[in-house]
Amino acid sequence: MNKNLGTTRDGFGKALIEIGTKNAQAIVLCADLTDSMRANWFKEEFPKRFLEMGVQEENMVGVATGLSLEGKIPFACSYSTFLINNALGPIRSSVCYSNANVKLIGGHAGITTGPDGATHQALEDIATMRVLPNMTVIVPADQEEARQATHAISKMIGPCYLRIGKYEVPNSTNPDNKFEIGKAKMIHEGPDITIVTCGNLVHIAKEVAESMCQGKDGHRDICIDVINMHTIKPIDKETLLKSLKKTRALITFEEHQIAGGLGSAVLEVITTSDPELLSTPVIMMGINDSFGQSGSSSQLLEHYNLDHKSLEQAIIKVVSLKRRKEK
Amino acid sequence: MKKMLAQALTGKKNQNPHRQIGNKVHIHKKHLNIIHTRDEIRALATLIRKEIVLMLLESGSGHSAGPLGMADVFAALYFGVLKHDPLNPNWEDRDRVILSNGHICPVLYATLAECGYFPKSELKTLRKIDSRLQGHPHYLANKIENSDNAISHPENLPGIENTSGPLGQGLSQAIGVATALKISQKPNYVYCLMSDGELQEGQNWEAFLYAANKNLNNLTVLIDRNGIQIDGYTEQILPLESIVNKLSSFNWNVYVINGHHVDNIIDTLEKSKAHRLGPSVIICQTTPGKDVDFMENLPEWHGKTPNKKQTKDALEDLRSLRGRIWWE
């Protein structure tokens, strides 16, 4: 389909070396998943600033807190489901309550993690991280965006959660459209419906938008606003509301539990911003209160209705609801 | 000596940070080599106990037994060993104190006030709304870019170095601080204060396992072995013994001391600092509720505060020390 494939974890790993070269305060901690988190590249370059923690997440987050109190910039890396779920106590009270400058890097996030199965597919991490005061939550869409996001979080001061994965996706963001924390990217424009998405699904939304706008596959022309909401907290209300006031139809699209994730964050904005938007037809696409399972990434996306076809069907449904309402 | 004791215990309001005991003026600047005598440190521990009892009466909630039990250790650490400067809490060369069992913060707050970090009058705001003396210590990291000295946020209570409350989280933070100091090749020393009941938390054992193998010879952990926790005696709730064997087998340098014996505390702290082969842990055997007769050794006093009558009795105990001559 596309030659330009890459993973968000590769973008993260590349950025770490660049940051390590420029900033002597950068320290990387990893809980026995060094190669898999792409922290091995930093380790090879800067062995003295790499801390192999062994299989322990709570202590890793605590040690990262202590490092940050002394002015270091610690990047604590593990698979998201272990990092977030095992170390939620220290993340809440040691890191967030102190507003400590700790960067939490969660790998293998989302259903696209694939064959490892449900134990390794983080599907609740966005929800748990975004309810914590002081926390910034970022989900990059492709390798280049992950690289830029890693640079951005190394420069901001305060706790941050970066959600990355191992699924190979095409570069769907324009590398010249610089990543800025809290500033969503409009990657496709149209008046009919708004799709808000993040992470590994951004490219799917973009491809669907491109194909539907051209009226391929027998569809009527539907032209779509696709918002890459890479920063889930603080969320970009302005871009979101501007688009919704134009389209008056919404789909949220994420590889995460529907409860508490990107979709919930978007609806929180709508319900508290503009009473007129409350009648907007909405479909929230995500994992519907279940665990994942083993399978290839593309099989799982299809199984959990997060593939191109499912998105197209949802678009047609929401747009027809909207048009019926308008008549 | 008796005159000094009388003045110290009943005495005049002390001016911080220049305190008068007897006819000597002391400035709490360890780095200026003004060192308290051990008798003075013992008297200071009793003063700290009095402050703790008064604070807890005022707050009406909080923990009594642990703070009273650790008063000698805190007095010995802050007045006999620690490199710090209450007039300059961000002093770059200061040692770091990381508190893990945040619920004993009345003893930390009272000690810091006694050192002159902030006015003693503020102790009365413990657990009150908008106070810097939160029920469990709150430390807000400062947003200063590219500084490799820990500089406290202006909103923080001066002298505290970390947030603490949920048990089991402090040792990891202390290890992080010690590691950062090593990476930056700084000589500052790190002390971490923990409780015994807290050792039931798994994160501590991750931390013990980790630190022993990282040559962190700039870290000493002090464990308050007072034998009680909220639900009862530790050895009945979830036995911890033998702590010495457990920690020795984790490759820690272990000491066991009487946590009320000031000489013993100071000498052991100095010994542990001289140990260069890795981190040390000092198990401080203490009496919970120490020197308040009706509180001593009773788990029920772990998490409750004295009423007015009890406070009066407690202060009476502390004034007379039940007829014992306290410096013997």
- In angstroms, the separation between the Cα of residue B265 and the nearest Cα of chain A is 26
Residue that finishes a domain, picked among A170, A199, A229 = A170
Q: Please tell me the distance from the alpha carbon of residue A17 to that of residue B90, in angstroms, as a whole number.
A: 32
Regarding the domain with residue range B2-323, which homologous superfamily does it belong to in the CATH classification?
A: Thiamin diphosphate (ThDP)-binding fold, Pyr/PP domains (3.40.50.970)
Helix axes B308-320, B38-59, angle to 10 degrees: 170
Any residues with CB less than 8 A from the CB of B86 and at least 6 apart, and which?
A: B16, B17, B28, B29, B112, B115, B116, B117, B158, B159
**Mean model confidence pLDDT for chain B:** 88
What average pLDDT does range B94-98 have in this prediction?
97
Does the residue A163 lie in any domain? yes
Q: Closest partner residue to A56 among B143, B168, B210, by Cβ?
A: B210
Q: Is the pLDDT of residue B17 over 60?
A: no
Q: Same domain, yes or no, for A149 and A189? A: no
Q: Same domain, yes or no, for A242 and A312? A: yes
Q: Is the pLDDT of residue B65 over 70?
A: yes
**Contact in structure between A96 and A132 (CB atoms under 8 Å):** yes
Q: Please tell me the distance from the alpha carbon of residue A317 to that of residue A323, in angstroms, as a whole number.
A: 10
Q: In this structure, what CATH number is given to the domain that contains residue A114? A: 3.40.50.970
Q: Is the pLDDT of residue B14 over 60?
A: no
What average pLDDT does range B316-320 have in this prediction?
87
With CB atoms and an 8 Å threshold, state whether A158 touches B165: no
Computed from CA positions of residues B183, B184, B188, B190, in that sequence, does the dihedral angle turn out positive or negative? negative
With CB atoms and an 8 Å threshold, state whether A98 touches B166: no
pLDDT in tens, A245-304: 999 999 999 999 999 999 999 999 999 998 999 999 999 999 999 999 999 999 999 999
Q: Same domain, yes or no, for A17 and A161? A: yes
The number of residues in chain B equals 328
Residue B19 tokens, joined: 């305190």
Residue A73 tokens, joined: 């910039």
pLDDT in tens, B110-163: 999 999 999 999 999 999 999 999 999 999 998 766 667 778 889 999 999 999
pLDDT in tens, B177-196: 999 999 999 999 999 999 99
Q: Same domain, yes or no, for A239 and A144? A: no
- pLDDT below 50 — which residues of chain A? 1
- In angstroms, the separation between the Cα of residue B46 and the nearest Cα of chain A is 32
Q: Same domain, yes or no, for A225 and A138? A: no
Q: What is the pLDDT of residue B34?
A: 57
Which residues from A are below 8 Å from B206, CB to CB?
56, 58-59
pLDDT band of B24, cuts 50, 70, 90:
very low
Q: What is the pLDDT of residue B100?
A: 98
Could you tell me whether strands A136-138 and A231-233 are parallel, antiparallel, or unpaired per DSSP bridges? Answer: antiparallel
Does the residue A175 lie in any domain? no
How far is C-alpha A283 from the chain's CA centre?
19
pLDDT band of B7, cuts 50, 70, 90:
very low
Residue that finishes a domain, picked among A125, A144, A170 = A170
Q: Please tell me the distance from the alpha carbon of residue A57 to that of residue A65, in angstroms, as a whole number.
A: 12
Exposure class string for A102-137: b at 16+ Cβ within 10 A, else e:
bbbbbbbbbbbbbeeeeebbbbbbbbbbbebebbbb
Q: Same domain, yes or no, for A156 and A191? A: no
Q: Is B136 on the interface with A (CB under 8 A)?
A: no
Q: In this structure, what CATH number is given to the domain that contains residue A218? A: 3.40.50.920
Residue ranges making up the domain that contains A14: 5-170
Q: Please tell me the distance from the alpha carbon of residue A28 to that of residue A34, in angstroms, as a whole number.
A: 10
This complex has an ipTM of: 0.94
Any residues with CB less than 8 A from the CB of B287 and at least 6 apart, and which?
A: B69, B226, B260, B296, B297
Exposure class string for B238-262: b at 16+ Cβ within 10 A, else e:
eebeebeeebeebebbbbebebbbb
Higher pLDDT pick, B18 / B110: B110
pLDDT band of B31, cuts 50, 70, 90:
very low
Q: Same domain, yes or no, for A288 and A165? A: no
Does the residue A77 lie in any domain? yes
- In angstroms, the separation between the Cα of residue A101 and the nearest Cα of chain B is 8
Does the residue A180 lie in any domain? no
With CB atoms and an 8 Å threshold, state whether B162 touches A69: yes
Q: Please tell me the distance from the alpha carbon of residue A224 to that of residue A194, in angstroms, as a whole number.
A: 6
Q: Is B75 on the interface with A (CB under 8 A)?
A: no
Among candidates A34, A201, A216, which has minimal Cα distance to A112?
A: A201
What average pLDDT does range B5-17 have in this prediction?
41
Q: Same domain, yes or no, for A123 and A216? A: no
Q: What is the pLDDT of residue B39?
A: 92
Q: Same domain, yes or no, for A136 and A92? A: yes
Q: Is the pLDDT of residue B8 over 50?
A: no
Q: Is B140 on the interface with A (CB under 8 A)?
A: yes
Q: Same domain, yes or no, for A209 and A108? A: no
Q: Is A29 on the interface with B (CB under 8 A)?
A: no
Q: What is the pLDDT of residue A216?
A: 62
Q: What is the pLDDT of residue A110?
A: 97
Q: What is the pLDDT of residue A4?
A: 81
Best B143, B203, B219 residue to mutate vs chain A (most A CBs within 10 Å): B203
Helix (H, G, I), strand (E, B) or coil at B220: strand
Q: What is the pLDDT of residue B12?
A: 39
Which residues from B are below 8 Å from A157, CB to CB?
143-145
Q: What is the pLDDT of residue B203?
A: 98
pLDDT band of B326, cuts 50, 70, 90:
very low
Q: What is the pLDDT of residue A177?
A: 87
Residue that finishes a domain, picked among A146, A170, A194 = A170
- In angstroms, the separation between the Cα of residue B99 and the nearest Cα of chain A is 12
Helix (H, G, I), strand (E, B) or coil at B80: helix
Domain count, chain A: 2
Q: Please tell me the distance from the alpha carbon of residue A104 to that of residue A161, in angstroms, as a whole number.
A: 5
Q: Is B183 on the interface with A (CB under 8 A)?
A: yes
Q: Same domain, yes or no, for A14 and A163? A: yes
Question: Which amino acid is located at B149 in the chain?
Answer: N
Q: Is the pLDDT of residue B21 over 60?
A: no
pTM: 0.92
Does the residue A231 lie in any domain? yes
What average pLDDT does range B31-54 have in this prediction?
86
Does the residue A179 lie in any domain? no
Residue with tokens 């400035």: B27
Q: Please tell me the distance from the alpha carbon of residue A192 to that of residue A318, in angstroms, as a whole number.
A: 10
Q: Is the pLDDT of residue B328 over 60?
A: no
Best A19, A51, A58, A63 residue to mutate vs chain B (most B CBs within 10 Å): A63
Q: Same domain, yes or no, for A190 and A81? A: no
